[in-house]
Amino acid sequence: MEIIREMREHDYEQVVFCSHKSSGLRAIIVIHDTTLGPAIGGTRMWPYKTEEEAITDGLRLARGMTYKCAAAGLNLGGGKAVIIGDPRKDKSEGLFRAFGRFVDTLGGRFITGEDVGITLEDVDLIGSETRWVGGSSESSGDPGPVTAYGVWHGLKACAKAAFGDDSLKGLTIAIQGAGNVGYHLAKHLNQEGANLIISDIFPDKVERAEQEFGAKAVEPEEIYKVPCDIFAPCALGAIINDDTIPQLKCKVVAGSANNQLKEDKHGAALEDRGILYAPDFIINAGGVINVADGLYGYNRERAMKKAQGIYDILLRVFEISKQDKIPTNNAALKLAEERIELIAQLSARIRKGPGKGLIL
Ligand code: NAD
């Protein structure tokens, strides 16, 4: 793999390789774009089969964070870190503290937190070596409930666009995955009076949703074909693909899962079937909004209010999609890229004051 060539293609700023023999640390930190501010992105721990696989994942995820932050109106850029290792076997105090020291060497260009394979306790260990962590237990904590709150408001925006009314009362909503986000989303939806259908690979999670919210359970592979108003993917990526799109019997796809479209073309394929798609990096931004809030002295109410703003951002995306006659996933990218471009132009023209904003 020619790494610098890959970086050039999508304008990555920096890739840092980290190694510490005695703790076994092998990590890669990717900074995609810091036009809007320091790069933020969780650290993922995964048993990647090859270094190339880890680099590719880090690059892809960092770029996604740039767009997510830009569209959410945050003054943060996009980054991501990956640690090569098995989260069930390879964790140690030394590994996370060594990683924390590498994060610290970047002097605040990169701020990290939880992602797949990383717990709050791991973040706290990283944070014992650097102040450049978000979402530690001392700060904003678990972002899941705020992500779910943002998704709930995103669903309301979708209902407004698709059915002319943002009330979810009486609508049938099928949720894939009753984990952290799926559970909290189901709670909001149940309180609003929606009818729920739920699937998970773990029966205890399904039973909890059945008991607490009167949700109807279906087998994991059945969830795509249940007749419903909204299908909310809250488990895996790449589940909107050539196989699943023909099965869907919904009017809207809107949920928390990252990278829901297997390929870009599947955004257009949903549109062709008359299904409104809420771009994932717009609707699931509540998590990063929550972590970002913690960087300024955490205020839960302020974070929730900002996550509620996903409603208006989504409506704007749908408007761009209509005006420009482009699928909603492309409209979301356009919205994010325009904001980055705007701030880049400001930075090029107006000299910044000493950390107190712009001098006009
Ligand atoms: P989680 O691990 O708590 O929940 C995921 C659930 O999906 C689990 O209960 C799992 O058993 C279930 N699942 C796995 N495979 C499934 C399948 N084939 N069918 C049905 N269920 C299946 O994770 P989470 O924190 O709730 O995140 C859910 C999704 O939202 C992920 O894609 C995550 O990347 C994304 N996301 C989460 C946050 C956050 O703040 N937690 C923020 C942004 C995006």
Residues 76 and 225 in one domain: no
Please work out whether the CB of residue 287 comes within 6 Å of at least one atom of ligand 1: yes
Q: Is residue 345 part of a domain?
A: no
Share the mean pLDDT of the chain.
Answer: 95
Residues 119 and 188 in one domain: no
Q: Is residue 272 part of a domain?
A: yes
Q: What is the distance in A from the centroid of ligand 1 to the CA of 201?
A: 11
Residues 77 and 180 in one domain: no
Residues 223 and 326 in one domain: yes
Q: What is the distance in A from the centroid of ligand 1 to the CA of 181?
A: 7
CATH number, domain at 272? 3.40.50.720
Please work out whether the CB of residue 18 comes within 6 Å of at least one atom of ligand 1: no
Residues 104 and 32 in one domain: yes
Nearest CA owner, ligand 1 atom 29:
257
Q: What is the distance in A from the centroid of ligand 1 to the CA of 237?
A: 9
Nearest CA owner, ligand 1 atom 30:
257
Residues 37 and 186 in one domain: no
249 is catalytic: no
Q: Which two tokens stand for residue 8?
A: 């050039």
Is 80 exceeded by the pLDDT of residue 352? no
- CA atoms of 78 and 49, how far apart (whole Å): 25
Name the residue of 147, 282, 290 whose CB sits within 8 Å of the most ligand 1 atoms, as the mutation to test its pocket: 147
Q: Is residue 353 part of a domain?
A: no
Q: What is the distance in A from the centroid of ligand 1 to the CA of 356?
A: 39
Whole-number pLDDT of residue 268: 98
- CA atoms of 198 and 208, how far apart (whole Å): 10
Residues 169 and 251 in one domain: yes
Distance of CA 130 to the CA centre of its chain: 23
Give per-residue pLDDT as tens, 89-111: 999 999 999 999 999 999 999 99
How much of the chain, in percent, has pLDDT values that exceed 70?
A: 97
Nearest to 294 by CA among 147, 151, 150, 136: 136
pLDDT tier at 353, thresholds 50, 70, 90: low
pLDDT tier at 347, thresholds 50, 70, 90: confident
Nearest CA owner, ligand 1 atom 31:
257
Please work out whether the CB of residue 235 comes within 6 Å of at least one atom of ligand 1: yes
Residues 89 and 172 in one domain: no
Q: Do 259 and 272 meet the contact criterion of CB atoms below 8 Å apart? A: no
Please work out whether the CB of residue 244 comes within 6 Å of at least one atom of ligand 1: no
Q: Is residue 106 part of a domain?
A: yes
Residues 272 and 321 in one domain: yes
Q: Is residue 134 part of a domain?
A: no
Q: Which residue segment(s) compose the domain that 80 sits in?
A: 3-127
For the chain, the helix, strand and coil percentages under 3-state DSSP, each to the nearest 5: 45, 15, 35
pLDDT tier at 257, thresholds 50, 70, 90: very high
Q: Is residue 358 part of a domain?
A: no
Residues 263 and 189 in one domain: yes
Catalytic residue among 80, 91, 156, 251: 80
The closest-lying atom of ligand 1 relative to the alpha carbon of residue 257 is 32
- CA atoms of 13 and 33, how far apart (whole Å): 6
Q: Which two tokens stand for residue 92?
A: 């140690």
Q: What is the distance in A from the centroid of ligand 1 to the CA of 142?
A: 14
Residues 37 and 116 in one domain: yes
Nearby residues of 157 by Cβ (< 8 Å), 6 or more positions away: 166, 278, 310, 311, 312, 314, 315, 318
Whole-number pLDDT of residue 170: 98
Q: What is the distance in A from the centroid of ligand 1 to the CA of 358?
A: 40
CATH number, domain at 22? 3.40.50.10860
Give per-residue pLDDT as tens, 193-229: 999 999 999 999 999 999 999 999 999 999 999 999 9
Q: Exposed/middle/buried for 145, CB within 10 Å: 0-12, 13-18, 19+? A: buried
Mean of the pLDDT values across residues 52-61?
A: 95
Whole-number pLDDT of residue 136: 84
Nearby residues of 331 by Cβ (< 8 Å), 6 or more positions away: 279, 317, 318, 320, 321, 324
- CA atoms of 94 and 5, how far apart (whole Å): 33
Q: Is residue 133 part of a domain?
A: no
Q: In the chain, which ranges are E strands? A: 14-20, 25-33, 39-40, 43-46, 77-84, 110-111, 172-176, 195-199, 216-217, 230-233, 252-253, 276-277
Q: Is residue 137 part of a domain?
A: no
How much of the chain, in percent, has pLDDT values that exceed 90?
A: 90
Nearest CA owner, ligand 1 atom 14:
235
- CA atoms of 159 and 167, how far apart (whole Å): 7
Nearest to 99 by CA among 163, 192, 27, 203: 27
Total domains in the chain come to 2
Residues 10 and 159 in one domain: no
Mean of the pLDDT values across residues 171-199?
A: 97
- CA atoms of 129 and 137, how far apart (whole Å): 15
Residue with more model confidence, 139 or 23: 23
Please work out whether the CB of residue 258 comes within 6 Å of at least one atom of ligand 1: yes
Q: Which two tokens stand for residue 76?
A: 């943060």
Please work out whether the CB of residue 144 comes within 6 Å of at least one atom of ligand 1: yes
Nearby residues of 351 by Cβ (< 8 Å), 6 or more positions away: 359
Tokens 């008991």 — which residue? 211
How many other C-beta atoms lie within 10 A of the C-beta of residue 350?
A: 11
